[in-house]
A and B are shown apart, each in its own frame.
Chain A
Amino acid sequence: MGPRSAGAVVGLVFGFVLCWSGMIDPNVIREALLFENAYLFLFFGSAVLVATVGVELLRHWRARALLTGAPVSWTRERAGRRHVVGSALFGLGWGVANACPGPIAAQIGQGILWAIPLLAGVVIGVLLFQRGGAVETEPPIDAAAKPTPSAVPVTQSG
């Protein structure tokens, strides 16, 4: 199995849980953002907690990636203006549509017709960004990214 098929399997699990947890339902997201329901925050918080412990253990064990043999490492990026501006634009869109990219993809798979203009918008947004000639902000493999002055490398010594 290579990274491509592994990525597809993780996507299947990730998307299925998004569907089963109701996270693709705009009403559920809206109720959460209006603090009428705590599910989203408990779901999100427990996901972050498990992920934090998991990746910290991998780093502690100085693990190598099972499929590629590459050392498990990443960079911690300093916060800049683009993170605030980009996330404010993203939050505005999320607050109006009550769906973010994962749920939008799952909605399309479910055949939800209202998701078609939303998907078209996301594609246009990504195209606008790429046409601006900006560098890829989300490389496939962290370790392959050259450390930039704004990135603080995390050593394997932890």
Chain B
Amino acid sequence: MTAPFDQQLAWYIAGPIMGLCVVACRALFNGRLGVTGGFSEVVGKLRRRNVRFDWRGWFLIGIAVSGTLFVLLAGDQSFSGYGWLTETFHGVGRIAIPFLLLGAGVLVGYGAKTAGGCTSGNGLTGTSLLSPASLVSTATFFATAIAVSFLIEAVI
């Protein structure tokens, strides 16, 4: 990757920009920033063969386009392989990876919709509004993901 994108952006720059994104949605159109809301909008509209997405859909499209833009500017993808999955499964065993990712994706999508938000909608936006539902959600998903990570670490 080419400079400056080969260096991880400092947390004290990256974090506050994310916070300002939450504030911008509120200040511009009183929106509740959340990526799962974007998925919900795009999937819901496409089911009805409609592509007139509201801002949530365009927010999601913006994120996807930013990935392409980053590759063009940095000259390479952000990472290769896929974390612990490609480190653990080799050869024929790799066939397990897409199934694990598919299952994890279903849990992420269904779970976030049930809870009314993911790491952005509940974690960033809801938490900053001091919403009890989002505080409980954020504590729950962090605790669960940490427990799952230690469990995987113990098994592999």
On B, residues with C-beta under 8 Å from A are 5, 8-9, 11-12, 14-41, 43-44, 47, 53-71, 74, 77-79, 81-86, 97-138, 140-150, 152-153
Beta-carbon contacts of A106-122 to B below 8 Å, as 1s and 0s?
11111110111111111
A-B CB contact pairs (8 Å), 11 listed:
A50-B20, A51-B20, A55-B128, A88-B144, A101-B36, A117-B99, A118-B104, A118-B108, A121-B104, A138-B37, A142-B32
User: How many angstroms between the C-alpha atoms of A155 and B129 in the bound complex?
Assistant: 13
Contact B137 A125 (CB under 8 A): no
Q: Is the interface of A mostly helix, strand, loop or mixed?
A: helix
Contact B105 A3 (CB under 8 A): no
Contact B102 A118 (CB under 8 A): yes
Chain A interfacial residues counted at CB < 8 A: 118
User: How many angstroms between the C-alpha atoms of A85 and B83 in the bound complex?
Assistant: 26
Q: Is the interface of B mostly helix, strand, loop or mixed?
A: helix
CB-CB under 8 A for A94 and B39, given A44-B123, A47-B19, A126-B113: no
On A, residues with C-beta under 8 Å from B are 3-27, 29-30, 33-35, 39, 42-52, 54-55, 58, 63, 65-68, 70-80, 82-102, 104-112, 114-130, 134, 136-143, 154
Contact B27 A65 (CB under 8 A): yes
Nearest CB in chain B to that of A6: its residue: B28
Q: Knowing that A8-B61, A90-B115, A124-B109 touch, tell me 15 more A-B residue pairs with CB under 8 angstroms.
A: A18-B63, A27-B84, A33-B148, A46-B12, A50-B18, A76-B130, A76-B133, A86-B112, A87-B144, A88-B144, A96-B104, A109-B67, A117-B97, A118-B104, A140-B41
